[in-house]
Structure 1
């Protein structure tokens, strides 16, 4: 059995910035998916509220996520082009197990 370190980030963009943020997230996703510790990076725009964005990320270990937050693309795209354009941001982490599921 192996564990995954999962990240759920919820963003609410400032008015008029959502399309620009989504473009930057596309760049961020492409770079992040090439990181050795990354398993998946996806993002979604809200239907009922198009200023809401959810990002789902998976890494092999918590340390891989820490390394992600130190990469050049996170520092230049995430920290300087995305985060300042957000009205709010929450990041929550979870551990999941890849293995046989057992009934309770």
Structure 2
């Protein structure tokens, strides 16, 4: 089973470009994390302020390591998140089928 994170970030009006720039800085270091299985940001074509993340980790501890990583602290909490109107997260586990 993988630990799955589904996250939705909504940028404040006028801040979407800066949020996108911070997200782009997050992608490669996040994908290189030891416990990361999949990390893909998305942008809503009908609402450029809306960003969606689909992420998979080996386990919850790997996700916590991601949140506490230097790059997420710098680009996530330091740059993108202060520019958000809202931030939602949901957590799942994959089914062994």
- Structure 2 segments unaligned to the other structure (5+ residues): none
Q: TM-score, normalised by structure 1?
A: 0.89
Q: Secondary structure at the match of 2:86?
A: strand
Q: Distance in 1 between matches of 2:69 and 2:54?
A: 18
Moved over 2 A (4+): none
Q: Secondary structure at the match of 1:69?
A: helix
Question: How far is 1:48 from its partner?
Answer: 1.8
Structure whose residues are more often helix by fraction? 2
Question: How far is 1:16 from its partner?
Answer: 1.3
- Structure 1 segments unaligned to the other structure (5+ residues): none
Greater Cα radius of gyration, structure 1 or 2: 1
1:39 corresponds to which of 37, 40, 50:
37
RMSD: 1.0
Matched residue, 1:6: 4
1:70 corresponds to which of 48, 68, 78:
68
1:63-86 deviation digits (Å, cap 9, x = unpaired): 100111111001111111010000
Q: Secondary structure at the match of 2:41?
A: strand
Q: Distance in 2 between matches of 1:24 and 1:77?
A: 5
Q: Secondary structure at the match of 2:71?
A: helix
Matched residue, 2:50: 52
How many residues are treated as equivalent by the alignment? 97
